[in-house]
Amino acid sequence: MWAVAAGEAERIGFVHEMALCRGVVQILEEQAAAHAYSRVKIVRLEIGPLAAIEPEAMRFCFEAAARGTLAENAKLEIVTPAASAWCFSCGETVTISERNGVCPNCGSYHVQPAGGDELRITELEVD
């Protein structure tokens, strides 16, 4: 892993992801106080493909955001679930790869995203 300072991550354009990582670390600290753990070993995040979050930027920023906290040296694992949408033309829930994607069943562009924009902590491994 690269050693990176929070200011460096922001300087190279990861302001959005740095803010999200700081929020994740804040949640970890709040949960540690509520559940009496002192160290986070693994953080598993689910980041939907429509969330406008770069997973590699999150990995880069998490190291800086976690420095000096109970999550320092924690491994960040990212899972990207499929995005789904409701197709108004064929009435089916379908998998899409982009926000304005086409329905794979009927070819219509009249789809409403129904999932895939999430960012959530799904699992922690702690001491």
We report the CATH number of the domain holding residue 18 as 3.30.2320.50
How many folded domains does the chain comprise?
A: 1
Examine residue 49 and state whether it is found in any structural domain, yes or no. yes
Report which of residues 127 and 6 the model is more confident about: 127
Confidence of residue 13 (pLDDT cuts 50, 70, 90): low
Interval 68-79: pLDDT, tens: 999 999 999 999
- The pLDDT value given to residue 24: 98
In this structure, are residues 37 and 127 in contact, taking their beta carbons and an 8 Å threshold? yes
CA distances from 27 to 9, 12, 34, 91 (A): 20, 25, 11, 38
Tell me the whole-structure pTM to 2 decimals.
0.82
Q: Does the pLDDT of residue 22 top 70, yes or no? A: yes
Look at phi and psi of residue 56 and say left if phi exceeds 0, alpha if psi is from -120 to 50, else beta: alpha
Q: Does the pLDDT of residue 1 top 70, yes or no? A: no
Examine residue 95 and state whether it is found in any structural domain, yes or no. no
